[in-house]
Structure 1
Amino acid sequence: MDEALKLKKATYHLWTFTISKMISSLGSNVLGFGISLYILAMTGSATSFAVNMICSIIPRTLLAPIAGMMADKYSKKPIILIAQACTVLTMGGLLTYSSIFGMSVTAIYITTAIYSITSTFIGITFSSSIASLVDGERLQKATSFNQASLSVAAIGGPALGGMMYGFVSIEVFLIIHMAAYATAFLLEATMDFKLYSKKEDKSEGDKESFLQSFKEGYRYLKTKRVVSIIIWVALWINFFFAALNVGGTYVLVQLLHVNSRHIGIIEASGAVGMLVASIYFATRKQVKYPLLFSKRSILLMAISLGLMTIPLWIDFPYIGIVIFYITIFISFSVFGVFTNTPIGVMMQTEVEEEYRGRVFGILETMAMAMMPLGTMLFGVLFDKFPAQWILLGSSSFLIVITLYMLRSSVLKVAYPELAKETKSFKLTEKIQQP
């Protein structure tokens, strides 16, 4: 294919991918928030609400490695289109059921579980496809647009979900979702997932079984020390992120007695920070040393976590508390994007295409597994110990883990040229000394 035509298609992919992800991410947030309100209205039970969350988390945790293997083993476009079509049919199934029998909590649980499965296959397959959809120079921009779509969904999802819950019936709610996911399906159907692909199709005799493919993915990961370290760092970040999720709300509501309206503004400011940081990355050149850049961002994120404790030590006026936590949530979100975007680009370039799906599947499983574990653990800790010590401890542990796992020897393995530049700088500095 002519290079100019490929670049034109890559530009088309960049925007189509962004719009499709925006629809999917916004739909997921609207659905999650709106369905939660419907469950609470139907049952008035926090347990029912929690069960629905479990129906969302468990399928993603268990099926992410399988989704990754399928993304590596089969053509990516049919996987995404079939999963997206199943999403539309799932919404249609719940709509039909509610029209005939009336809405039930069990039907919502089943819908949530199926939606979690389809979104897992779509998300992992898309993540492993980015480097095949756009050229290398636009990898960072595509990753940034992906982050931007998530932040817009985080801002607009709850607001739109709450508005739809208040003004439309559950049937209209589901019809809107069907239309949105059908639009995403049509957009994805026009994309060429092999535009920049370098993977050769295997002959029938060379194709691996699922078990062999799974084992091969883990063997490959063991040979990629830097990628393995990135996955472990991501695991610890997700674990300690639970300290913010649990502790942030606990501190604001229970200890500082912040008004619920202002808590909404504080939490929304985090999504605004994500959006601003994503736009910044979309307009700047690709980061030269992504792992080093991300290391510094994680350290700043950990420091922001520790700074959350300041109003617990020092008396602030009420408006000062609100402004302070808006600043902290924006900072935390900005540093989160500064961490995720360079690492996301690095994962696209460092992991060979034939293993990319399995690696992203392993990453998804480990990240999802740590979320409920961290949430439960920090929930217990915040009930038993002073919040400021838990937040400071979490901040300190994250700093120590980051400094150890991303130490100089690891960075030298990732970037041998960085070590040469450092030696050259030191030598020049020594020569210039009188």
Structure 2
Amino acid sequence: MSEALKLKRATYHLWTFTISKLISSFGAQVYALAISFYILQMTGSATSFAANLICSILPRTLIAPFAGYVADKYPRKTIVITAQIATTIAIGGLLTVSVISGLSLISIYATTVVIAITSSFSGVAFTSSITGLVDEARIQKAMSMNQMSISFAAIAGPALGGVLYGAVTMPIFLVIYMSASGIAVLLESTMNFKLFAKRKEIVEGEPKESMLQSMKAGLSYLRLQPVLMTIIWISLVINFLFGAFQVGYSFILIEKMKMVSTHFGLTEGASAVGMILMSIYLSVRKELKYPLRVGKWGIIGMGLAMGAVILPLITQFPYNGMFAFYATVMFSFGILVILVNTPIQVMMQKMIDDDYKGRVFSILETMAMALMPLGMVLFGFLYDVFPPQWILGTSSAVLIIVVLIMARPSVVRKAHPELDKSKTVKAETVQE
């Protein structure tokens, strides 16, 4: 295939990938809201609701390493499409149960587990395939458009779900999700996952690695990449400390500041708006030159935004001023999340060999998925014992200090050796 045709095909992938993600994410958001409301209305139990969350998080945590192995050993297009079809069938099964005998908690939990497993396979395989779908110059654009579609679905999905919940039956919600998943399968089936891929050819007669050997090889590969290890450790610290923000933000606004639910929802919506706007900006601008340095200062900005949440607890704010303040903080936080995530993801896409991407991304997902609920449980306990301003203020300070240490100038220069060259050129220019 000629280079011009490959670039044209890559453009098609950009839009197909984005639309597929938008449709499937939108369906998932509508379904998640409907199921959450349904469980709470059917049981009135927070425990039953939490059990559904566990059914979503735990399988993904356990299955991610296996999903990474599969993504590196088998055709990624087959994995993505098979996983999406399995999701469609699972929702179809739940729809059948709801029509025949009505929904039960067991059927909902079982479907949630299946969807969690299939989304893990699909997510790891898709993430590992970005550099195979689009040319290197447009990886940032692809990552930005992917994030933009997810953020848009996060805003529009719950909004539509909330409107529909009182107007239509549960089977209608399931039909919406099943249709969205089916359309995603059709779109994904038209994509060439090997267009720009640089995977090794399988040699006949070559001894095959066992799954355990393959996973060990993935860990060994990571240990030989110090910059990647730094990025992963920083991301794990963020995921853990983010529990303080997730629990604390809701606790402070609802319990301490007595903000009404509508205004609370609007402040959270401001975060999604910030994410969309920054995603659009990054999708149209040229690739950021020093992603780790940008990510470092973006994380410091996130730490400051986390710390800012406690200001109305320390200083008196009028109600409208408090609402405007939190909306601004969350809008800024949304911008910073994308400013950190997108350049770092682009950097990782370029740094990691195609044959190791599945295992590396699955290791990251496993550790992050394990740390997030752990952080939320720990900080949930701490907020019942200590004043929230102490917990969130300390977490904010720890995040900033850890990033300043782990992403110190020597580490940033190791990731971007061209920084030293640019300084040398500037110094020579000044001397002249």
Please state which band the TM-score falls in when normalised by the shorter chain: over 0.9
Aligned to 1:149: 149
- Contact kept? 2:71, 2:79, Cα under 8 Å: yes
- Provide the alpha-carbon RMSD of the alignment: 1.2
Q: 1:208 is aligned with what amino acid?
A: E
Indicate conservation of the 8 Å contact 1:382/1:390, yes or no.
Answer: yes
Tell whether the 8 Å contact from 1:242 to 1:371 is kept in structure 2 after alignment.
yes
Q: 2:232 & 2:78 partners in 1: Cα distance?
A: 28
Query: 1:121-176 deviations in whole A, cap 9, x for unaligned?
Result: 11111001001100011100000011101211211122122223211111111111
Q: CA deviation at 1:203?
A: 2.5
Q: For residue 427 of structure 1, report the CA deviation from its aligned partner.
A: 6.0
Going from structure 1 to structure 2, the CA distance change for 1:103 and 1:316 (only over 3 Å counts) comes to: same
How many corresponding residue pairs? 431
- 2:253 paired with 1:252: yes
Residue of structure 1 equivalent to 2:12: 12
Partner of 1:42: 42
1:229-263 deviation per Cα after TM superposition (whole angstroms, max 9, x unaligned): 11111111111111221111111011111111100
Match of 2:223 in 1: 222
State the match for 2:391 in structure 1.
390
Q: Is the 8 A contact 2:30 2:173 kept in 1?
A: no
C-alpha contact 1:273 1:331 (8 A) present in aligned 2: yes
- Which residue of 2 is the match for residue 400 of structure 1? 401
> Which residue pairs with 1:86 in the alignment?
86
Partner of 1:282: 283
Cα distance in 2 for partners of 1:204, 1:260 equals 62
- Helix, strand or coil: the match of 2:370? helix
Give the structure 1 partner of residue 294 of structure 2.
293
Once the two structures are superposed, the pairs formed by residues 19-38 of structure 1 within 5 Å of their partners are 19-38=19-38
The residue aligned with 1:180 is: 180
- The answer to whether the 8 Å contact 2:27/2:176 transfers is no
Instruction: Give me the whole-angstrom Cα distance separating, in 2, the residues matched to 1:29 and 1:96.
Output: 21
Deviation string, structure 1 residues 40-96 (Cα, Å, up to 9, x no partner): 111111100000000000011111111111111000011011101001100111111
Q: Counterpart in 2 of 1:366?
A: 367
| Per-residue deviation, 1:423 | 4.2
Question: What letter is aligned with 2:384?
Answer: D
The aligned residue for residue 66 of structure 1 is 66
Find the residue that maps to 1:292 and give its secondary structure.
helix
Listed one character per residue, the Cα deviations across residues 370-420 of structure 1 (whole Å, up to 9, x for unaligned) are: 110110111111111111111111110000110111111111211112123
Tell me the secondary structure at the aligned position of residue 199 of structure 1: coil
How many Å apart are 1:198 and its aligned residue?
Answer: 1.4
1:312 aligns with 2:313: yes
Q: Is the 8 A contact 1:14 1:142 kept in 2?
A: yes
The letter of the residue matching 1:361 is: S
Opposite residue 202 of structure 2, the aligned amino acid is K
Partner SS state of residue 166, structure 2: helix
**How far 1:426 sits from its partner (Å)?**
4.8
- Counterpart CA distance in 1 for 2:362 and 2:352 is 13
Amino acid at match of 1:388: Q
Quick one: which amino acid aligns to residue 61 of structure 2?
Answer: T
Q: Is the 8 A contact 1:38 1:165 kept in 2?
A: no
User: Deviations for 1:158-213, whole angstroms, at most 9, x for unmatched residues?
Assistant: 21222232111111111111111000000000000000011132134333221111
Find the counterpart in structure 2 of residue 211 from structure 1.
212
The answer to whether the Cα contact below 8 Å between 2:69 and 2:211 also exists between their aligned partners in 1 is yes
Tell me the distance in 2 between the aligned counterparts of 1:93 and 1:80: 20
**Which sections of structure 2, spanning at least 5 residues, go unmatched?**
none
Letter in 1 for 2:380: G
Cα separation, 2, equivalents of 1:102 and 1:358? 40
Q: 2:247–2:379: 8 Å Cα contact kept in structure 1?
A: yes
Q: Which piece of structure 1 moves more, 95-104 or 42-51?
A: 95-104
The equivalent residue for 1:329 is: 330
- Deviation digits for residues 95-137 of structure 1, max 9, x if unmatched? 1122222210110000001001111111111001001100011
Aligned partners of 2:39 and 2:48 also within 8 Å: yes
Distance 2:427 2:394 in 1: 36
Tell me how far 1:428 sits from its aligned partner: 5.3
1:346 equivalent to 2:347? Answer yes
Give the fraction of aligned pairs with identical amino acids, expressed as a percent.
53
Counterpart in the other structure of 1:96: 96
Whether contact under 8 Å (1:246, 1:378) holds in the other structure is yes
**How far is 1:425 from its partner?**
3.6
TM-score (norm 1): 0.97
Moved more, 158-167 or 331-340: 158-167
Counterpart-to-counterpart distance in 2, 1:133 and 1:140: 13
